[in-house]
């Protein structure tokens, strides 16, 4: 019996049973085909719009398994993809007919509290790292949803509540363990394989499979001031105009996220607004709680809030406050811009399209960044775009395939309308697979992209790692 697998050149290979049996002797983890009981659950990704069926899934239990998986793929020139947490809008963790190299079982975290560092394996979710580091009152710069995988987040740049104070997630990485296209395990850092290290800090998964990340940690919590404040749609214009001024003057310890959406039946929102459009501000103050209370006081007095759950809370709780908005198994479609500011036109566009939302799960979000991003030059890492002050995310989310067209059209319309307000840049982790070379260049910048392409040609000349946001060598 043979297994048919897609190859890099678009052809197919019938992998003989004896070749697979020989591979199993050097691979400790599970090897799953479409007929195996765990196959369907393992291949399923966060975004239900992505429904690819790999010919083979290799569930790695350690770095040695990753090395063997790469060697198999290289030997037979097989199409492959790499799965970390699987929480990616483009669903690049799964490839059709090829080999999925699954790292999701690699979830170890080791904290050196004295050095303020943590080593985390590539299958970790944000919550895994936060739980371990917060035991020591420390935190890594990670994202906003605890179920997000650290690997995709980091190699795509990464931003969260601590970005304004400490930069992109990739700015805080000290080293990475990487399996190269040659099947070799190397360390990438400022002093070892420095070019590879530069490329992986925002350049995506084009250059190797990162098996672990070493993060610089920062004193945070365990208790911070954070939560959300919500107002009815009638006050949304006033709130967003105040938010624009308030956030622009905010200290780096404070990060805010403005959200326009239909109010869900969440327990923190009164029943009378459920199903109606609201504006909400999510806030996290990672400095002295007393300072945050004083700074946020004017915002909390604005208009007539229908809910205010800003309070002292554990940082790990703040990190999961948005989890319910992004459950696995919904259909997702996102469009995104970087904004230099929130000007009147951006507010006008956001309000107009919030009134046209087609799904109760969709939202328009304005994530505040800026701050420490501008402390480093544009070429420090491929993530670049250090002139961004906000990330506009038009986040379509719905349940049924028959609603795809209407929800995608809504997101695209809002995106096109907001183009005039953009810096011209975009966040690579928010790009869908349909977006072409112009959007890749917008994410990296022409100079960084040229350097990435040159490194790609050197590090992976056969383009083994191609099921990614493409950088051509």
Pair 234, 366 in one domain? yes
Confirm whether 472 is domain-assigned. no
Number of domains forming the structure of the chain: 3
Quote the radius of gyration of the chain (alpha carbons, Å).
Answer: 22
pLDDT of residue 401: 97
Asked if 336 contacts 392 with a C-beta cutoff of 8 angstroms, the reply is yes
Cα–Cα distance between 170 and 196 in angstroms, integer?
A: 13
From residue 83, alpha-carbon distances to 119, 186, 203, 337, 439 in Å are 19, 20, 17, 26, 23
Burial class (CB in 10 A: 0-12, 13-18, 19+), 252: middle
Question: Can the peptide bond before residue 86 be classed as cis, meaning omega within 30 degrees of 0?
Answer: no
User: Helix 446-459 crosses helix 437-444 at what angle (to 10 degrees)?
Assistant: 100
The torsion angles phi and psi of 16, rounded to 5 degrees, stand at -65, 150
Pair 76, 213 in one domain? no
Domain boundary among 61, 87, 102: 102
Which residues does 347 contact at the CB level (< 8 Å), separation at least 6? 237, 240, 241, 244
Residue 421: CATH number of its domain: 3.40.462.20
Pair 396, 291 in one domain? yes
Cα–Cα distance between 63 and 75 in angstroms, integer?
A: 18
Residue 44: both structure tokens together: 């399923």
Domain boundary among 219, 254, 283: 219
pLDDT of residue 436: 84
Burial class (CB in 10 A: 0-12, 13-18, 19+), 409: middle
Pair 41, 131 in one domain? no
| Total-model pTM | 0.94
Domain boundary among 177, 198, 219: 219
pLDDT of residue 470: 66
DSSP 318-365: HHTTTGGGS-TTSEEEEEEEEES---HHHHHHHHHHHTT--STT-EEE
Pair 98, 138 in one domain? no
E strand or H helix that includes residue 293: helix 289-300
Confirm whether 466 is domain-assigned. no
Pair 43, 86 in one domain? yes
Confirm whether 270 is domain-assigned. yes
Pair 209, 302 in one domain? no
Confirm whether 35 is domain-assigned. yes
Confirm whether 451 is domain-assigned. no
The three-class DSSP label of residue 49 is coil
pLDDT of residue 435: 84
Confirm whether 460 is domain-assigned. no
User: Taking Cα atoms as reference points, which of 379, 374, 444, 389 lies closest to residue 421?
Assistant: 389
Confirm whether 201 is domain-assigned. yes
Pair 297, 426 in one domain? yes
User: How many Cα atoms occupy the beta-carbon half-sphere of 207 within 13 Å?
Assistant: 30
Pair 331, 214 in one domain? no
Confirm whether 345 is domain-assigned. yes
pLDDT of residue 24: 93
From residue 88, alpha-carbon distances to 59, 82, 429 in Å are 19, 12, 7
From residue 149, alpha-carbon distances to 128, 293, 355 in Å are 10, 32, 32
Give the chain's residues under pLDDT 70: 1, 469-473
Q: What is the domain range of residue 191? A: 109-219
Pair 63, 83 in one domain? yes
Pair 202, 258 in one domain? no
Place of tokens 């996290």: 284
Burial class (CB in 10 A: 0-12, 13-18, 19+), 149: buried
Strand partners for 112:
117
User: Taking Cα atoms as reference points, which of 286, 314, 308, 115 lies closest to residue 217?
Assistant: 115
Strand partners for 58:
31, 101
pLDDT of residue 42: 95
């Amino acid at each position: 019996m043979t297994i048919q697998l897609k190859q890099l050149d678009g052809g197919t290979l019938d992998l003989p049973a004896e070749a697979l049996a020989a591979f199993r002797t050097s691979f400790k983890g599970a090897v799953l085909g479409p007929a195996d009981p765990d196959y369907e659950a393992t291949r399923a990704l966060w975004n239900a719009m992505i429904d690819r069926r790999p010919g083979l899934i290799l569930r790695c239990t350690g770095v040695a398994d990753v090395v063997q998986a790469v060697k198999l793929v290289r030997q037979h020139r097989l199409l492959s993809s790499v799965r970390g947490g699987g929480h990616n809008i483009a669903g690049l963790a799964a490839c059709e007919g090829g080999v999925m190299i699954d790292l999701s079982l690699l979830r170890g975290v080791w904290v050196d509290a004295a050095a303020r560092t943590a080593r985390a394996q590539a299958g970790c979710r944000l919550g895994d790292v936060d739980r371990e580091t917060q035991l020591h009152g420390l935190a890594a710069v990670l994202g906003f949803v605890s179920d997000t995988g650290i690997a995709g987040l980091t190699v795509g740049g990464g931003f969260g509540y601590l970005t304004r104070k400490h930069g992109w997630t990739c700015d805080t990485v000290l080293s990475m363990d990487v399996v190269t296209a040659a099947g070799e395990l190397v360390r990438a850092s400022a002093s070892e394989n420095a070019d590879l290290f530069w490329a992986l800090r925002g350049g995506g998964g084009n250059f190797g499979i990162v098996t672990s990340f070493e993060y610089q940690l920062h004193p945070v919590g365990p208790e911070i001031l954070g939560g959300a404040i919500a107002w009815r749609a009638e006050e949304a214009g006033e709130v967003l105009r105040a938010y624009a001024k308030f956030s622009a003057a905010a200290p780096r310890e404070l990060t805010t996220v403005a959200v326009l959406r239909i109010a869900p039946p969440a327990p923190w929102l009164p029943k009378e607004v459920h199903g109606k459009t609201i504006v909400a501000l999510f806030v996290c103050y990672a400095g002295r709680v007393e300072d945050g209370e004083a700074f946020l006081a004017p915002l909390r007095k604005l208009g007539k809030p229908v809910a205010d759950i800003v309070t002292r809370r554990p940082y790990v709780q703040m990190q999961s406050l948005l989890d319910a908005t992004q459950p696995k198994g919904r259909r997702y479609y996102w469009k995104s811009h970087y904004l230099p500011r929130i000007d009147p036109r951006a507010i006008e566009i956001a309000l107009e399209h919030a009134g046209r939302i087609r799904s109760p799960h969709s939202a328009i979000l304005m994530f505040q960044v800026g701050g420490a991003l501008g402390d480093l030059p544009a070429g420090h890492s491929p993530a670049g775009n250090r002139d961004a002050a906000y990330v506009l995310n038009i986040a379509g989310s719905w349940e049924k395939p028959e609603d795809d067209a209407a929800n995608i059209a809504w997101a695209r319309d809002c995106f096109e309308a907001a183009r005039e307000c953009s810096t011209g840049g975009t966040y690579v982790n928010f790009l869908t697979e349909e977006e072409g070379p112009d959007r890749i260049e917008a994410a990296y910048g022409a100079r960084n992209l040229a350097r990435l392409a040159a490194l790609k040609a050197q590090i992976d000349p056969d383009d083994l790692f191609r099921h990614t946001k493409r950088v051509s060598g």
